[in-house]
C-alpha cells in the first residue's frame, strides 16, 4: 500500500484506526451512514456533500460484492444480491446502489465470521424490498 501511494501514515497508525473501526467505535448508525453514502455514489445523505468520488465507490462496491463477507461472500451475494461488508464485531453494512444502504449489528457470528442475525435481516429486507441486483424487478 505504501509503495502504491495509498498508505500515507505509519503502519502502527493504520492498524490502530482499523482496530477502532472494526471492533470498538463504529455504531450501527455509522455503518448505515457509510452504506447510504455508498448507495448515493459518494454523496453523504442529509448534507449533499460529496465525500467520495463515484469511481472510488464503484471500486469499493465491487470488492464488497466479491469478498466483503469473508468466505460467506458467495452465499450472501446469491441470497441478498447486494454488495456488503461485515466485521468481526458483528456489524454488517449492505448497499443497493442508487437505492439505499442498510446496516445491522448483532454479536453472534457464523462460521465465516458474519453476524447471524444481520445476515438474516439483510436477506429478508432484500427479498421484501426487491433489492437483489441480479433479480428481475417489477415483474
- Note the pLDDT tens digit of each residue in 94-116: 999 999 999 999 989 999 999 99
Q: Residue for cell digits 465470521?
A: 113
> Considering the domain boundaries, does residue 115 fall inside one?
yes
CATH number at residue 97: 3.40.710.10
Total residue length of the chain = 139
Determine the Cα angle at 84 with ends 82 and 90, to 5°: 135
- Looking at residue 1, what is its pLDDT? 67
Distance (Å, whole) CA 99 – CA 110: 28
83-108 burial code (b ≥16 CB/10 A, e <16): bbbbbebbbbbbbbbeebbbbbbbee
Is residue 55 a part of any domain in this protein?
yes
Write the pLDDT tens digit of every residue in 17-69: 777 666 667 788 999 999 999 999 999 999 999 999 999 999 999 999 999 99
Asked if residue 5 belongs to a domain, the reply is no
Domain that holds residue 33: 27-129
Number of domains in the chain: 1
Amino acid at each position: 500500500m505504501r509503495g502504491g501511494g495509498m498508505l500515507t501514515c505509519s503502519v502502527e497508525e493504520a492498524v490502530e484506526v482499523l482496530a477502532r473501526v472494526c471492533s470498538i467505535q463504529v455504531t450501527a448508525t455509522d455503518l448505515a451512514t457509510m452504506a447510504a453514502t455508498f448507495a448515493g455514489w459518494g454523496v453523504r445523505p442529509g448534507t449533499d456533500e460529496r465525500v467520495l468520488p463515484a469511481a472510488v465507490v464503484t471500486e469499493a462496491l465491487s470488492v464488497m460484492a466479491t469478498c466483503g463477507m469473508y468466505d460467506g461472500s458467495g452465499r450472501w451475494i446469491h441470497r441478498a444480491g447486494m454488495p456488503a461488508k461485515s466485521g468481526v464485531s458483528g456489524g454488517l453494512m449492505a448497499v443497493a446502489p442508487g437505492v439505499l444502504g442498510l446496516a445491522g449489528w448483532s454479536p453472534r457470528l457464523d462460521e465465516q465470521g458474519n453476524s447471524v442475525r444481520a445476515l438474516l435481516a439483510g436477506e429478508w429486507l432484500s427479498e421484501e424490498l426487491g433489492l437483489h441486483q441480479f433479480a428481475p424487478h417489477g415483474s
